Structure 1
Amino acid sequence: MGDHGEQVSNKQVILRDYVVAGIPKESDMSVTTGTIRLKVPQGSDAILVKNLYLSCDPYMRSRMKKLEGSYIESFKPGSPITGYGVAKVLDSGHPNFKKGDLIWGKTGWEEYSLITSNDILFKIQHTEVPLSYYTGILGMPGMTAYAGFYEVCSPKKGEYVFISAASGAVGQLVGQFAKLLGCYVVGSAGTKEKVDLLKNKFGFDEAFNYKEEQNLDVTLKRYFPDGIDIYFENVGGNMLDAVLLNMRLHGRIAVCGMISQYSLEQPEGVHNLSCLITKRLRMEGFLVIEYYHLYPKFLDMVLSSIKEGRIVYVEDIAEGLESAPAALVGLFSGHNVGKQVVVVARE
């Protein structure tokens, strides 16, 4: 390798243009091949990585449109989309990272990425678990579940917990955290397969397919005759409306996501907000980026739980960068079973 590094081809997933309406489509993205030098520019504190695993997450939908005043920036049309991933360092100008290190954090949807150091990056110390876990249970979704449940919900043993989109990357963990704490846990999902997974693999007390329910208020009364103490919100819309009617006094709602609303031009209204007053409820939105300081504490707890078999994790693996657009789009029709991961390269 010369001073400037060799020029190699770099397959990339590019956003064609801002998605204007509705559910994203594969055709909103294209897979192209660029080139990249496998060397960090002289004097730069960037790191050059080979991407191994990429994470498909619902929040990425909002980045496909022009965002004003959001906590996150829009993708740039004509450029590779970005997200969380696991990668191997090939060259580094940064004192904290050296060649050969494994990292997880913000990277590009491409074979190789030049990452500037001000992005969220963690060095992977524990490789006795699958590396792909750092896109999920040991990465951003895991941290989201941990912060949302323990920090935002203030849970207590024996409480009644409901989780929507419960078999997804975050929901499957919140349910297991709640069970470890001794709570009664019910989840909703969109297929029989996912409902079975919740009950048989993740140990939820009950689960139901929301698509088969005529009246969600009646459904929730069936599973929670005494009401809900904690609702972990991932979907919004009708589900939130029904939950508000079924919350107990001083209940807590952690608002993690609202996937049912992301692709709507006009978000649906919520009618039962007066329940916040009558039941003295606390409803709080949160972003995982404000909780990353807890990552070491989180990692200790979850790693030991995985090793001792107290927590299980289900991934839906798509092979190859060219499968990434379909994998991302599939989140919005519930195509994935468990955490959606794209394998770019195995180590």
Structure 2
Amino acid sequence: MTDKMTDHQNRQFRLAHRPVGPVRREDFTFRVDPARAPEAGEIMVAVEYISLDPAMRGWMNEGRSYIKPVGIGEVMRAGALGTVVESRAAGFSPGDVVTGALGVQSVATLAAKDCVKVDAGLAPKPLFLSALGMPGMTAYFGLLAVGEPKPGETVVVSAAAGAVGALVGQIAKIKGCHVVGLAGGAAKCRYIVDELGFDAAIDYKSEPVPARLRETCPKGIDVYFDNVGGQILDDCLAQINLRARIVICGAISQYNNTTPVKGPSNYLALLVNRARMQGMIVFDYAERYAEGAQAMAGWLAAGRLKSREDIVDGLETFPDTLQKLFTGENFGKLILKV
């Protein structure tokens, strides 16, 4: 515990408008305010790294979802990592490194129960927002608990060079599967094959996806891990096997639509093949995060799993840096360094 501090200035982005189509800088207000001193049960955290995720686009929309939307005028929601600078909560002391929904800001004051302490001596801090954080848990539970891959099966993953997709493909390889990734551009395709060990890559920007799926998945598709939705989901549904499992993790191709989301036209393939398509939200597995983190840390330590972070300096760059997710510019996990 420490005495209250009043000299912390909090740089923050607040949601000013609900975006229509792609997010613009004008959709946020940048402010500098005195940081709020913690009350009983709360901690003040100096934010160091902020996780930028496609889900943030959905959080800006009004409407029913798995989590309430960010309110107009509220600090933009984001997972982040930082160091405790002041504590009024048992079990937390200045110097502790924590992760939680700290928001797009330089100082966060929040309930200690909403944060998790991490051992920053075990791995570089950004890894706790990547393979050892929400993307890692999404990949681990989405593939293993929902996709249920078996050795020898064919697993296809979209956005395969992204934070979640890259981990999904590697876990599938660890589990003995034939793994094909879809990514945009030759550099990303080389990366997932040459560095991550995927069996094949399909460049959806320059190659005919249906033909390449038939070529790279000669036995059909047993598990499709979908991060993009749209036409690629349809292309994969057309080639699924009997009792295939389709994991719906995200639909980044649809997030900036100004028209209704395009659903799959090949959905009858689910009926014909008695297949299962299931949505996956990582928060549903919160009670099992320790299990996932232990497995992921073991694979990282053994060199069986690689994690790549795309770190951009400067909190003030947030609105522009966020766009990298939707233009396909980022390689690996996109993180903002405060």
Q: TM-score, normalised by structure 1?
A: 0.93
How far 1:224 moved relative to its partner?
1.1
Q: Distance in 2 between matches of 1:236 and 1:144?
A: 17
Q: How does 1:32-181 map to 2 (within 5 A)?
A: 32-37=31-36, 39-41=37-39, 44-67=40-63, 69-119=64-114, 121-181=115-175
Unaligned runs of 5+ in 2: none
Does residue 272 of structure 1 match 2:242? no
Q: How does 1:150-299 map to 2 (within 5 A)?
A: 150-214=144-208, 216-265=209-258, 266-299=260-293
Q: Distance in 2 between matches of 1:117 and 1:11?
A: 21
Q: Deviations over 1:304-327 (max 9, x none)?
A: 211121111111110010122212
How far 1:63 moved relative to its partner?
1.4
Q: Deviations over 1:52-87 (max 9, x none)?
A: 1000000100111212x3211212222321211111
Which has the larger displacement, 122-131 or 187-196? 122-131
How far 1:36 moved relative to its partner?
1.3
2:294 corresponds to which residue?
A: 300
1:17 corresponds to which residue?
A: 17
How far 1:48 moved relative to its partner?
0.9
Amino acid at match of 1:293: E
Q: Is the 8 A contact 2:45 2:107 kept in 1?
A: yes
How far 1:154 moved relative to its partner?
1.1
Secondary structure in structure 2 of the residue aligned to 1:82: coil
Which has the larger displacement, 74-83 or 152-161? 74-83
How far 1:171 moved relative to its partner?
0.5
Q: Is the 8 A contact 1:318 1:324 kept in 2?
A: no
Q: Is the 8 A contact 2:97 2:120 kept in 1?
A: no
Q: CA RMSD in A?
A: 1.7
Q: Is the 8 A contact 1:172 1:198 kept in 2?
A: yes
Q: Distance in 2 between matches of 1:9 and 1:95?
A: 25
Q: Deviations over 1:202-245 (max 9, x none)?
A: 1101101101134x322211211220010001011111111111
After TM superposition, the runs of 4+ consecutive aligned structure 1 residues lying more than 3 A away are none
Q: Is the 8 A contact 1:141 1:170 kept in 2?
A: yes
Q: Deviations over 1:293-341 (max 9, x none)?
A: 1111112211121112111111111001012221212201111111100
Secondary structure in structure 1 of the residue aligned to 2:47: strand
Unaligned runs of 5+ in 1: none
Q: Is the 8 A contact 2:23 2:319 kept in 1?
A: no
Q: Distance in 2 between matches of 1:228 and 1:65?
A: 33
Q: Is the 8 A contact 2:80 2:102 kept in 1?
A: yes
Q: Is the 8 A contact 1:26 1:329 kept in 2?
A: no
Q: How many residues align?
A: 337
Amino acid at match of 1:294: R
- Cα distance change, pair 250–110 in 1 and its aligned pair in 2 (3 A): same
How far 1:3 moved relative to its partner?
5.2
Amino acid at match of 1:237: G
Q: TM-score, normalised by structure 2?
A: 0.95
